[in-house]
Every structure is written in structure tokens, then in C-alpha cells.
Amino acid sequence: MKILICDDSMFVRKKMRDAVVKAGVTDIVEASDGQQAVDKYKQEKPDLCFMDIIMPVKTGVDALKEIREFDKGAKVIMASSVGTQANLKEAIVAGAYDFLQKPIDDAAVKKIIDKIKG
């Protein structure tokens, strides 16, 4: 399984990477803005993508829309902090597979990964 982690915060990416590794996945690709997320998704074709909503260059929602155009079956999990709840509705409409509340909870990450692994 390959996972793409997209967040403009290096700290959040590290925390997410740690949670993903703890859940048993070590094939991890990272992006620090929305455009990078789209480019890396197209290049790497991950099984799962964790995407922050608020990012520079291109928002998480715009990146999600572009990724879903490229791959209708893309499984993109949107990550949101309390201040970005309104954007979650837009993300769900755009085709987000699920969402995570920040700060990221390791158990929630594992649950999503296990669900996708089947």
C-alpha cells in the first residue's frame, strides 16, 4: 500500500507519517502544497491520500477536485482543524472519501487505513 500525505506543515506531515507507519504502511510520499499533491498523485498513484484543506498554491479542495478528475476512484481523506469545518462540506461534495479532525489521532488514521486495506 502506498500513501500520499499532503500538508503545508512539516510537523503535521511528520505526525501523520508516524501514525501511518504505526498502522503498518511504510511506502509514503509527501507533498507540501496543493499543486505538489496533484503532481505527486499523478506520478505515484497512491492507494490513499491524506490531504489538508488549507494549503498554499492550491487548496486541498481544489487539489481533491483535480485528483478526482484524474482518478475517479481516488481515496482522499481530508484533514480539518476546527476553523475549517465549513470547507469540509465542500470537500465531501467534491468527492472526499472521508475526513479526519486535527489534531490527528493515530487510532483514527489506523481505522481508515484498515478500512481501505479491506
Task: Report the pLDDT averaged over residues 84-100.
Answer: 85
Q: Give pLDDT tens digits for 4-49.
A: 999 999 999 999 999 999 999 999 999 999 999 999 999 999 999 9
Residues 82-92 have a mean pLDDT of 76
> Strands, E, within the chain: which ranges?
2-6, 27-31, 48-52, 76-80, 98-101
* Domain span holding position 59: 2-117
Contact yes or no for 99/78 (Cβ under 8 A): yes
Domains contained in the chain, number: 1
CATH number at residue 38: 3.40.50.2300
Q: Maximum distance among all alpha carbons in the chain?
A: 34
Q: How far apart are CA 72 and CA 54, in angstroms?
A: 22
d(CA 21, CA 37): 20
pLDDT of residue 24: 97
